[in-house]
Structure 1
Amino acid sequence: MQFGIFTVGDVTPDPTTGRAPTEHERITATVAIAKKVEEVGLDVFATGEHHNPPFVPSSPTTLLGYIAGQTERLILSTSTTLITTNDPVKIAEDFSVLQHLTEGRVDLMLGRGNTGPVYPWFGKDIRAAISLTVENYELLRALWDDEVVDWNGKYRTPLQGFTLAPRPLDGVPPYVWHASIRTPEIAELAAYYGDGFFANHIFWPSSHTEKLVGLYRQRFAHYGHGTPEQAIVGIGGQVFIRPNSQDAITEFRPYFDNAPVYGHGPSLEEFMAQTPLTVGSPQEVIDRTLSFRDYVGDYQRQLFLVDHAGLPLKTVLEQLDLLGGEVVPVLRKEFAIGRPADVPAAPTHASLVAAAENKAADDKAAEA
């Protein structure tokens, strides 16, 4: 099972000091966070994509390419890449290049985004969000899978005799996760292609995530990719950790109360009771995270949000020390207990290459 961090890259004033980092400070802090993720023994760092203030990650592959040059084993991903407003040709090119630069330690998470104005900024209509997602992903798959692509769709100019350059590393495209907070059509899309499904799992109660993941597992099996238990699932979560539970709550409360997304709404206690947000001791984070398996089943990737709402870099790095030193080692051990042998591990470039080679050998044997 993979564990890691995802960031949305918000530039938010620290409510305890009133000071907001500059955009430059936030970007350089993100690099420091990613390097720390590797240092403490986590597996994945993922960045969001936003094109408006108060966010800074408008060019995820640029950021990930820079981080790749300063890390050695970290899997670099997105959370998310906007499949609706990005040109699929550019997505395919950017991630093929990133694959080569990282020796394959890259995947991506596709989503529609949650900022309405971004659609007209890129010449798209938000009312076509779902159909844009379906058509653009169909083209993206073709660009990675086929040497020569002839394409005619509704939302972009046709392609005739187009060949992607560079081709994916080892002939195997990056693994794709489809992310959704609330949309069953995205679970259906992931299931249809046999791709991974990532449930953000931050703002909604567990019953909502259970239904969405359950739908994906059911449809994954329906399309013949394996049993429901063999579907590839990722889960989001957000935590704030201190050795003492009450210290964690006291320290995090002003950040929660003033956060751009959920501030000035439910109390911290109400939000923790109604969603997976966990603020407390390492053991409380362990216990809460282990409970996710009760309603989503055995899954492959757990990403935590730890750097939002104006938290200073020093505090974020302390969170990573606690995650890497006290939380994740226990989670790795506990999640392995009772895990059925037929539940697959999280996909990696190496495992995808091996699967492609096995399939090619099987196909050759069948022809003989």
Structure 2
Amino acid sequence: MQFGIFTVGDVTTDPTTGRTPTEGERIKAMTAIAVKAEEVGLDVFATGEHHNPPFVPSSPTTMLAWIAARTERLILSTSTTLITTNDPVKIAEDYAMLQHLADGRVDLMMGRGNTGPVYPWFGRDIRQGIPLAVENYALLHKLWREDVVDWQGRFRTPLQGFTSTPRPLDGVPPFVWHGSIRSPEIAEQAAYYGDGFFANNIFWPKEHFKKLIGIYRERYAHYGHGTAEQAIVGLGGHVFMRRNSQDAVREFRPFFDRSPQMGGGPSLEQYMEQTPLAVGSPQEVIEKTLAFRESFGDYQRQLFNVDGVGVPLKTVLEQLDLLGEEVVPVLRKEFAKNRPADVPETPTHASLVADRLGRAAEARGAAQA
């Protein structure tokens, strides 16, 4: 099982000091967070993609390439790649390039984003969000698997004899997750291709995400990729820790209260009771995260959000120390207990290459028989 962090890259005023970081400071903070994640033993760093204030990560491949040059083991991912408004040809080429630069340490998560105006900014119609996601990903999937592509669809000019370059590293495309907060159509899409499904698992009660994951698991089995229990599931989660629970709650409260996503409604205590938000001691975060398996079954990737909402970089790095030293080692051990042998590990470039070579060997053996 993989553990890591994801960020949305918001530039938000620290409510305890009144200071707002510059865009440059926030970008540098995100790269420092990624490097620290590898130092403390985490597996994954994932960044969102946004094209509007107050967010800064408009070019995920640029940021992830910088991080790739300064890390050795960390898997570099997106927590949203806008499959609706990006050209699938550009996605195919950008992420294949990143894949080569990072020696395969790349996967990505397809999503539709959380900003409605992004559609007209890029010449798209938000009313076509789901059809765009379906058609654009079908083309991307084809571009990575066929050397010469002929294509005609509704939303872009046709392709004739087109080859995207560079080709995927070792002939194996990056593994793809499909992320969703509310759309069963995206769970269906992930299941159809046998890709991973990532449930955001923040802001909403677990029952909501349990329903989406249930749809994905059922349809994954329907399409013949394996049993429902073998489907590839990832979860998010928002945490804030101090060694003493009361200190964590006291320190996080002003960030919660000023958050446009969380504040202004239920109290922090009510919000923690109703959603996956975990604010407290490392042990409390461990217990809440372990409970995810009771709701969602055995899964493959757990990403934590530890920055944003104005939390300063120094505090974020302290959160990473606690994750690396006290939380993730226990989670690795506990999640491994009683994990069925037929539940697959998270796909990586190495495992996908091995699968490809195995299938090729089987095909040669069958041809010779």
TM-score scaled by length of structure 2: 0.99
Q: How does 1:117-136 map to 2 (within 5 A)?
A: 117-136=117-136
**Map of 1:8 onto structure 2:** 8
**Map of 2:206 onto structure 1:** 206
**Map of 2:35 onto structure 1:** 35
| CA distance in structure 2 between the partners assigned to 1:73 and 1:331 by the alignment | 20
**SS of structure 1 residue aligned to 2:302:** strand
**SS of structure 2 residue aligned to 1:353:** helix
**Map of 2:343 onto structure 1:** 343
Residue 39 of structure 1: CA displacement? 0.3
Amino acid at match of 1:224: G
**SS of structure 2 residue aligned to 1:179:** strand
How big is each residue's C-alpha offset from its partner over 1:46-77, in whole Å with a ceiling of 9 and x where there is no partner?
A: 00000000000000000000010011100000
**Map of 1:149 onto structure 2:** 149
Q: How does 1:1-368 map to 2 (within 5 A)?
A: 1-368=1-368
**SS of structure 1 residue aligned to 2:9:** coil
| CA distance in structure 1 between the partners assigned to 2:324 and 2:122 by the alignment | 39
Residue 266 of structure 1: CA displacement? 1.6
Amino acid at match of 2:229: E
| CA distance in structure 2 between the partners assigned to 1:117 and 1:270 by the alignment | 32
| CA distance in structure 1 between the partners assigned to 2:156 and 2:262 by the alignment | 37
Residue 367 of structure 1: CA displacement? 1.8
| CA distance in structure 2 between the partners assigned to 1:145 and 1:151 by the alignment | 13
Residue 181 of structure 1: CA displacement? 0.6
**SS of structure 1 residue aligned to 2:33:** helix
Residue 260 of structure 1: CA displacement? 2.5
How big is each residue's C-alpha offset from its partner over 1:112-171, in whole Å with a ceiling of 9 and x where there is no partner?
A: 111000000000000000000000000001100001000000000000000111000000
| CA distance in structure 2 between the partners assigned to 1:364 and 1:208 by the alignment | 46
- Of residues 64-73 and 262-271 in structure 1, the stretch that sits farther from structure 2 once superposed is 262-271
- Give me the CA root mean square deviation: 0.5
| CA distance in structure 1 between the partners assigned to 2:126 and 2:164 by the alignment | 28
**SS of structure 2 residue aligned to 1:240:** strand
Deviant stretches of 4+, over 6 Å: none
| CA distance in structure 1 between the partners assigned to 2:60 and 2:181 by the alignment | 20
- Of residues 114-123 and 356-365 in structure 1, the stretch that sits farther from structure 2 once superposed is 356-365
Residue 204 of structure 1: CA displacement? 1.0
How big is each residue's C-alpha offset from its partner over 1:169-189, in whole Å with a ceiling of 9 and x where there is no partner?
A: 000000000000111000000
| CA distance in structure 1 between the partners assigned to 2:309 and 2:120 by the alignment | 27
**SS of structure 2 residue aligned to 1:143:** helix
Amino acid at match of 2:178: H
**SS of structure 1 residue aligned to 2:286:** helix
| CA distance in structure 2 between the partners assigned to 1:166 and 1:281 by the alignment | 46
Residue 361 of structure 1: CA displacement? 1.0
Q: Percent identity?
A: 75
Amino acid at match of 1:53: P
| CA distance in structure 2 between the partners assigned to 1:360 and 1:87 by the alignment | 32
**SS of structure 1 residue aligned to 2:291:** helix
| CA distance in structure 2 between the partners assigned to 1:99 and 1:250 by the alignment | 42
| CA distance in structure 2 between the partners assigned to 1:5 and 1:180 by the alignment | 17
How big is each residue's C-alpha offset from its partner over 1:175-216, in whole Å with a ceiling of 9 and x where there is no partner?
A: 000000111000000000000000000011111111111110
| CA distance in structure 2 between the partners assigned to 1:274 and 1:364 by the alignment | 54
Amino acid at match of 2:321: D
| CA distance in structure 1 between the partners assigned to 2:284 and 2:355 by the alignment | 38
Residue 263 of structure 1: CA displacement? 1.9
| CA distance in structure 1 between the partners assigned to 2:45 and 2:307 by the alignment | 12
How big is each residue's C-alpha offset from its partner over 1:70-110, in whole Å with a ceiling of 9 and x where there is no partner?
A: 11100000010000000000000000000000000000000
| CA distance in structure 1 between the partners assigned to 2:127 and 2:362 by the alignment | 44
**SS of structure 2 residue aligned to 1:58:** coil
Residue 267 of structure 1: CA displacement? 1.0
CA contact (8 A) 2:203 2:261 kept: no
**SS of structure 1 residue aligned to 2:303:** strand
**SS of structure 2 residue aligned to 1:237:** coil
